[in-house]
Amino acid sequence: MTLTTDSWSFLLVAMLAVPAAGAAVVALVPAAHDRQARIVATAFAAVTFLLTLAVPVVVPDEFGWFSIDGVPGLVPWLNLELPWVPALGLEFHLGVDAISYPLVVLTGLLTLLCCAYTVKTGARALAALLLVLEVGILGTFLALDLILFFIFFEVVLLPMYAVIAGWGGPDRRRAARKFVLYTLAGSVLLLIGVVTVVSQAGTGDLTFLTDASPLSRNVQCLVFALFAVAFAIKAPLWPLHTWLPDAHTEAPTAGSVILAGVLLKMGTYGLIRVGVGVAPDGASWAAPVLAILAVVAILAGSLICLRQRELKRLIAYSSVGHMGFVLLGIATLTVTGIQAALIGNVAHGLITGLLFFLVGTIKDRTGTGSLDQLSGLREHSPRLAGLLGFAAIASLGLPGLAGFWGEAFAVVAAVQRDDPFWVTCGVFAAVGGALTAAYFLRLLRRVTHGPATPAVRSSRSAISAGEWVAWAPLVLLTLAVGVAPALILSGTDLPIVSLLGGGRP
């Protein structure tokens, strides 16, 4: 069932149109006004962020799940449906609900922070590309039409390539090429899956497909396999993760933050919304395989991190482990598991975004990312060391901070399945969680403690106002989500039940 297009749904278009217009404006500013252009970009990002915040304010009051008999399918808070290309079965259908909304806000926030970060160091083209990326990412989270979802999924490819290849480290070309070819390989599989669904079901409308999947079990298994590989490359899931460390190591700070903070979430969100939503039978068929891969990812990510000597690479591999927890949560196909995945998504976005800001700053200031040449940061720049400690501890999943909920409840959800296989998965994942603590403590010991190395001593120690502005929201939100996970999870249980097929007879 779909709600009719309501009066506030123009907000959804505005969320895409404002950053797109911003990118165009910034790209047209002449080179002489580079700094002003970056400020304009930040202003556009700020407006977009405010628009994302406005959504809950304008959601109709009488909106409620209980006004409808039984568990409804996907009922977006705001809904916009316009025909676009009937020949290809493509509708311009946007909507936002409890599952996508936290990610939408996170995207708005991180883009704003990254644009603000480029005001000090960066170029107007970089700021424009960040805004284009925002269009693609928000579009992916808002799309309620499968083909539209695919188109927005593709929008981010070339801008991210340009960000890495244009402003990255010494080996940026190769890393960027690897990123773009890998992710295109993923998204073409998504294309085949999407077209197969549209061809079989006659529509790409996610509200309809989630409500009652008209696909036969065989088709579901096929398309879920395609979706799972496509999203596993994006997420990334071991063993399809090898593009990620290179891309992260070479990307500029703002690029790393967007990449880790929200770009990867397109994979996990897609798996929940499209994979599980459209092909629930296929999902339950493939769940054990996904779970094994997720657990291997957690363990492999942690073990690799224990051996890493490069700061950015270490954080990048830690993402592989964290995404493993998210995928394990999804693989359990329980409400708890998917809630864990949702909160794990947001927490990883906040914490890893912060971590990449911090290690990017450390790398820029000391000129090195090698753990061998970094030591004694605590003595030389105590504030920076403190923030790094906070982010690392949040990332290893200390209760009370955002990282805890996703990891703990992914394990809980696995154990609750009450089946030897799932319990084993849960146990191994928990071991991986312990290893996460080990490598983050090793990181802290190497970087913050000990005598200060020359590279650290010669670096700037103060944190500028601009940096505080970029980092403080992430620190505060990490605390807030840690204390009150309901910020992310309220209202998600019924949509998840319907995703999992609860609305079906």
Partner 1 sequence: MSSQSVGHFALIPLYVAAGTAILALLADLFTGRRAVIAGVTLLGTLATASGALLTAGADPTFCAGGGCSWTPSGAAATTAVLFAGLTAGVLAFSLPALRLGIAPAGEFCFLLACSMTGGVTVAYAGDLITLIVGLETLTLPLYVLAGLRRFAPGERATAAPAAASVTFFLISVVSTAIALLGVALNYAATGAVHLALLGPAPAPFAQIAGVGAALLVIGLAFKVAAVPLHAWAPATYDGAPVPVAAYLSTASKLGGVLALAAVVSRLDTRAGVIVLAILTMTIGNLVALRQSRMVRLLAWSSIAQAGYILAALALGEPGVVAALAYAAFFVILELIAFGVVVALRHPGADGGAIDDYRGAGRRSPWLGAALVLALAGLAGLPPGLAGLFAKLSVVDALVDANWTWLAGIVVLNAVIALAYYVRVAAALYTLPARVGLSVADPVLMDAAVHPRLPVARPVAVTLVAAVAVAVALGFAPQLLFDALS
* Cα angle, residue 333 at apex, residues 134 and 391 outer, rounded to 5°: 50
177 binds partner 1 (CB under 8 A): yes
CA distance 419 to 416: 8
Structure tokens at 367: 């000129």
The nearest distance, CB 200 to partner 1, in angstroms, is: 9
441 binds partner 1 (CB under 8 A): no
112 or 219: CB nearest partner 1: 219
172 or 312: CB nearest partner 1: 172
φ/ψ of residue 97, rounded to 5: -140, -170
CA distance 381 to 172: 29
149 binds partner 1 (CB under 8 A): no
Q: Name the one range near partner 1 by CB under 8 A: 152-160, 279-287, 353-361, 467-475.
A: 152-160
170 binds partner 1 (CB under 8 A): no
The nearest distance, CB 44 to partner 1, in angstroms, is: 18
Applying the rule CB under 8 A, the residues between 45 and 84 that interact with partner 1 are 84
189 binds partner 1 (CB under 8 A): yes
Q: Which of 85, 476, 483, 484 binds partner 1 (CB under 8 A)?
A: 85
The nearest distance, CB 267 to partner 1, in angstroms, is: 17
The nearest distance, CB 91 to partner 1, in angstroms, is: 12
Estimate the share of the chain in helix, then strand, then coil, as percent rounded to the nearest 5: 75, 5, 20
Give residues with Cβ within 8 angstroms of 472, minimum separation 6.
Answer: none
Applying the rule CB under 8 A, the residues between 89 and 118 that interact with partner 1 are 89
274 or 299: CB nearest partner 1: 274
Residue count, binding to partner 1 (CB under 8 A): 31
The string of DSSP letters for 267-335 reads: HHHHIIIIIIHH-HHHHHHHHHHHHHHHHHHHHHHHHHHHH--BHHHHHHHHHHHHHHHHHHHHHHTSH
Q: Which of 1, 181, 434, 486 binds partner 1 (CB under 8 A)?
A: 181
Q: Which of 70, 86, 170, 454 binds partner 1 (CB under 8 A)?
A: 86
Query: 421 in helix, strand or coil?
Result: helix
157 binds partner 1 (CB under 8 A): yes
Q: Name the one range near partner 1 by CB under 8 A: 174-182, 277-285, 306-314, 419-427.
A: 174-182
Longest dimension (CA), the chain: 68
DSSP lists the bridge partners of residue 143 as 94
422 binds partner 1 (CB under 8 A): no
130 binds partner 1 (CB under 8 A): no
> Among 469, 286, 309, 318, which Cα is nearest to 391's?
318
209 or 388: CB nearest partner 1: 209
Query: 202 in helix, strand or coil?
Result: coil
CA distance 462 to 464: 6
Give residues with Cβ within 8 angstroms of 269, minimum separation 6.
Answer: 99, 100, 103, 140, 141, 345
The string of DSSP letters for 59-105 reads: S-TT--GGGSSS--S---SEEEEEEEEGGGTEEEEEEE-TTTHHHHH
Helices (H), 396-491: 402-416, 420-447, 454-457, 465-483, 486-489
Q: Name the one range near partner 1 by CB under 8 A: 40-48, 111-119, 183-191, 281-289.
A: 183-191
165 binds partner 1 (CB under 8 A): yes
151 binds partner 1 (CB under 8 A): yes
CA distance 491 to 75: 12
199 or 458: CB nearest partner 1: 199
> Among 130, 131, 170, 113, which Cα is nearest to 357's?
113
Q: Which of 17, 21, 185, 455 binds partner 1 (CB under 8 A)?
A: 185
120 or 173: CB nearest partner 1: 173
Applying the rule CB under 8 A, the residues between 190 and 219 that interact with partner 1 are 191-192, 195-196, 198-199
CA distance 55 to 50: 9
58 or 181: CB nearest partner 1: 181
21 in Cβ contact with 134 (< 8 Å): no
Give me the sign of the Cα torsion angle 107, 111, 112, 117. positive
199 or 242: CB nearest partner 1: 199
220 or 395: CB nearest partner 1: 220
The nearest distance, CB 133 to partner 1, in angstroms, is: 11
The nearest distance, CB 496 to partner 1, in angstroms, is: 30
Residues that bind partner 1 (CB under 8 A): 84-89, 136, 147, 151, 154-155, 157-158, 161, 165-166, 173, 176-177, 180-181, 184-185, 188-189, 191-192, 195-196, 198-199
